[in-house]
Amino acid sequence: MKTTVPGGGEAGSSLRPEISGFLLLDKSPGQTSFEALWAVKKALGTGKVGHTGTLDKFASGLLIVLAGRATRLSPWISHCDKTYLAAIFFGTETDTLDPEGSAAARGPVPSRQQFEEVLPRFRGNILQTPPLYSAIHLDGRRASELARAGEKPEMKARPVTIYELRLVSWEPPLARILVRCSGGAYIRSLARDLALACGSRAHLAELRRLAVAGFSVEAALCPEAAGGEGVSRAYREALRPVDRTLFEALGIPRLEAGADVLLPMIHGRPLDSLLAGLIPEGALCGEGAPAAVFAGDRFAGIVERAADGRWNYGYVYAGDCGTGGTRAGL
């Protein structure tokens, strides 16, 4: 008979500490975000790996990859602000709004002046219609799946925020732009709409994600640079623990509690008495705003502010008080 022991292993088996943490990955163009995770899974020896925001196949740049229990933190990372460097190709709009699609419409290449004059319209809070070829779910199916089946579902416009939008270089028919935007914004849609606003048609020719919240692609692992047999080791060494630095980079405030809070949180005790008197370190917004609870040196979990000011559980990360699932590594 196999006996479960604290930490998730089995008695009589060779126990390995649970793998849990995050790493910064510089995805190469030509592979899907899903494909980029295969090497990570193999190197870490776990299938419990996920990313926090899809990059299209033709795109490159920063993916924040989560492993083990940390995969449950995805909702609080995927909606963070992002920064991109993008190249817009004027003259041809494709059905996918990227270089992998087929030509769907054509238009004249605008002048630099025409292009720069429309940029202010797309800064700030705007309504944006997502691409038909996207991962958005409509009635339980992805929009891209419906499109490939010949259907044309209605893509409803939704609010997004463009914090920064500026022209980096003008080399017609290419225009390179820098975009800093809220989570949920599509740069392919932005390229389409910018072109339409200046009487043209366009698609996104190149896209590179430079940053997610406070994380930069410059600090990310580039698998090609590691090369050969060193790649697996590089993935393992790149895995970071879920600690205060993660939440500082994400801009999520912290509640610093004593170590005695850990076990009651694991058991789901009411939070208001556990966290009474604690003041979040960092800005905290209104209803639904998250905070990361640290019980001594350990990350205990995510809590969220309710409309009445009370705290609700978001996700209890600690899991147990034994071997611990909060440590990155093998």
Q: Which domains does the chain have, with CATH numbers?
A: 21-79+215-238 (3.30.2350.10), 82-212 (3.30.2350.10), 244-316 (2.30.130.10)
- The Cα–Cα gap between 78 and 183 comes to 7
Name, in order, each residue with C-beta under 8 angstroms of 310's C-beta and a sequence gap of 6 or more.
271, 272
pLDDT of residue 146: 56
Q: Give the position of tokens 């989560």.
A: 66
pLDDT of residue 319: 61
pLDDT band of 149, cuts 50, 70, 90: low
pLDDT of residue 148: 67
pLDDT band of 205, cuts 50, 70, 90: very high
- The Cα–Cα gap between 195 and 88 comes to 9
Which of 14-28, 175-189, 201-215, 286-300 shows the lowest mean pLDDT across its residues? Answer: 14-28
Q: Give the position of tokens 């410059």.
A: 218
DSSP 111: P
Is the CB of residue 159 less than 8 Å from the CB of residue 144? Answer: no
pLDDT band of 132, cuts 50, 70, 90: confident
pLDDT band of 10, cuts 50, 70, 90: very low
Please determine, for residue 3, whether its predicted confidence score (pLDDT) is greater than 60: no
Provide mean pLDDT across the span 56-77: 94
Please determine, for residue 140, whether its predicted confidence score (pLDDT) is greater than 70: no
Closest CA to 90 of 77, 107, 102, 73: 107
SS3 199: coil
Torsions phi, psi for 65 (to 5 deg): -105, 130
Is the CB of residue 294 less than 8 Å from the CB of residue 300? Answer: yes
pLDDT of residue 105: 96
- The Cα–Cα gap between 303 and 255 comes to 9
Please determine, for residue 283, whether its predicted confidence score (pLDDT) is greater than 80: no
- The Cα–Cα gap between 144 and 213 comes to 27
Please determine, for residue 131, whether its predicted confidence score (pLDDT) is greater than 90: no
Provide mean pLDDT across the span 84-96: 96
Strands in the chain per DSSP E: 21-27, 49-51, 60-67, 82-90, 92-94, 103-106, 124-128, 137-138, 141-142, 158-171, 174-181, 202-212, 215-216, 254-257, 290-295, 298-305, 311-316
Q: Check residues 101 and 149 and name the one with the higher pLDDT.
A: 101
Catalytically active residues are 56
Report percent pLDDT > 70 for the chain: 82
pLDDT of residue 119: 98
Q: Check residues 228 and 40 and name the one with the higher pLDDT.
A: 40
Provide mean pLDDT across the span 79-102: 95
Average pLDDT over the chain reads 85
Please determine, for residue 78, whether its predicted confidence score (pLDDT) is greater than 80: yes
pLDDT of residue 324: 38
Q: Which H helix or E strand runs over 29? A: none
- The Cα–Cα gap between 167 and 116 comes to 7
Residue type at position 16: R
pLDDT of residue 232: 85
> Mind spelling out the 3-state secondary structure of 269-329?
CCHHHHCCCCCCECCCCCCCCEEEEEECCEEEEEEEECCCCCEEEEEECCCCCCCCCCCCC
pLDDT of residue 4: 34
Name, in order, each residue with C-beta under 8 angstroms of 17's C-beta and a sequence gap of 6 or more.
7, 323, 324, 327, 329, 330
Please determine, for residue 98, whether its predicted confidence score (pLDDT) is greater than 60: yes
Q: Which H helix or E strand runs over 237? A: helix 230-238
Q: How does pLDDT run across 222-279, given as a tens digit for each residue?
A: 987 766 667 888 999 999 999 999 999 999 999 999 999 999 999 999 998 999 888 8
Report percent pLDDT > 90 for the chain: 62
Which of 46-55, 161-170, 245-254, 276-285 shows the lowest mean pLDDT across its residues? Answer: 276-285
Cis geometry, peptide bond prior to residue 99 (ω within 30 degrees of 0): no
- The Cα–Cα gap between 121 and 118 comes to 6
pLDDT of residue 52: 87
